Every structure is written in C-alpha cells, then in structure tokens.
Amino acid sequence: MARRSRRTPTQPKLYARNRVPSLARDDKSHEVAANSEPPLSEAEGSSAVKALDVFRVLAKAGQRLTEIHVHYERQPEYKLKKTEKAGEKLNWRVTKMRLSKDKSTLTYNEFLTLSDIPKETDDYRLGNRSALEWIIDQYQVSTDKRSGITNDPNRADDPQYILRLIGQVITVSLETVSIVNSLPVLGIP
C-alpha cells in the first residue's frame, strides 16, 4: 500500500483559480468555497482572454514609452533638412530659436535653419504645447531680471547638443504619437 505524502504545517495551501493564494494552513472553509465556485462560462472565458490580450498590448506600449522617454538622449535623431546661410560663419550656438507659423521650419540661429519637421510632431503635447515648443522655450539664452544671472543652455564641451536634442525630441514625439494611436479602444465611456 502506497503512503500518501502529508503536507507539513508550514507549507501553504493554494486555493481556487482567479484568486490570490490563501496562506491558511488547515482551514477547510476556503477550500469548500473555492471548490463550489461555478466554472467560467465560455463568454466569460473569452472576455478574460481578450482582457489579458489588451493588458499585454498596453503593458508593451507602456514599456516602450518608458524606454524612449527615460532614454530620450539615446534615441536616433530625426533627419531634418539643414540649410546653412551662405556667407555666415559656422555657428552652433543658440540664443533664441523660432518656429514658423506652420511649424514645419525652425530657425535655429542666424546661420542654420531646420526644415521638413513632420506635422505629427505637434500632436505630442506637454500640457498646452508640443515637446518641440517646450525645447524651443527652454533652450534659449536668458537673463533673470532680479538677479542678473544669465542662463546659457549652450555646451562648450558639446556645441551640437541642442541641434541633436531637437532631432531626438522629434523622434520621441513621432514614436509616442504612433504608439498612442495604435492602442486598442477600451470602450470606457
């Protein structure tokens, strides 16, 4: 006659599917409730699978959005058309950038103009402005009137940093819009 193995009192019991495991040791009331639960209907089962699929899509999208936003400086630069002004000296310094009315062209400085900015870049908003508009506003030379302290975002060790950042922010904006537009409709009113 084969001996049945017995659980030791320290081993937890796991009860019922779709529930958090119970760590009760020898309480039979949970076992009765779990075993008397009716099985899922076919419709409930398929909706649970559908919900799980939607969750996985949302989790994957969230993971990618986190990756591109946390590591925005590692993203590839969006290739913009760069037009250098003839007769001007090579200059990567920014004092104040300006975006055209149609938001397709950015005057970087007197020497350089960036064009062919995709219109979808403006669809990714940080409050009431696009990420590109935020960069344009934050990355300019300014002097505080009260203290007289000058804020200069230009980097002596990396003169093309702001130019590269603009391309990276455009890439992040376009990918964010693409990811958000591809999310499934949840049907929540």
Residues 145 and 88 in one domain: yes
pLDDT at residue 144 tops 50: yes
pLDDT at residue 166 tops 60: yes
Residues 78 and 130 in one domain: yes
Counted domains in the chain:
2
Q: Which residue has the higher pLDDT, 111 or 6?
A: 111
Instruction: Tell me whether residue 172 is exposed, middle or buried, using C-beta atoms within 10 angstroms of its C-beta: 0 to 12, 13 to 18, 19 or more.
Output: buried
Residues 110 and 34 in one domain: no
pLDDT at residue 171 tops 70: yes
Residue whose C-alpha is closest to residue 11's, from 26, 32, 30, 1:
26
Residues 32 and 87 in one domain: no
Rounded distance between C-alpha atoms, residue 97 and residue 104, angstroms = 13
Q: Which residue has the higher pLDDT, 153 or 24?
A: 153
Residues 106 and 174 in one domain: yes
Residues 14 and 78 in one domain: no
189 found inside a domain: no
Residues 114 and 177 in one domain: yes
75 found inside a domain: yes
32 found inside a domain: yes
48 found inside a domain: no
Residues 17 and 98 in one domain: no
User: Which range of residues forms the domain containing residue 149?
Assistant: 71-182
Residues 28 and 97 in one domain: no
Instruction: Give the chain's end-to-end CA distance (angstroms, integer).
Output: 62
**Beta-carbon-side half-sphere exposure of residue 31 (alpha carbons within 13 Å):** 9
What pLDDT, in 10s, does the model give residues 65-102? Answer: 999 999 999 999 999 999 999 988 899 999 999 999 99
65 found inside a domain: no
Residues 75 and 161 in one domain: yes
- For the chain, helix (H) and strand (E) counts, in that order, are 4, 8
157 found inside a domain: yes
Tokens for 98, please give them.
């300006």
pLDDT at residue 29 tops 70: no
Residues 75 and 26 in one domain: no
Residues 31 and 80 in one domain: no
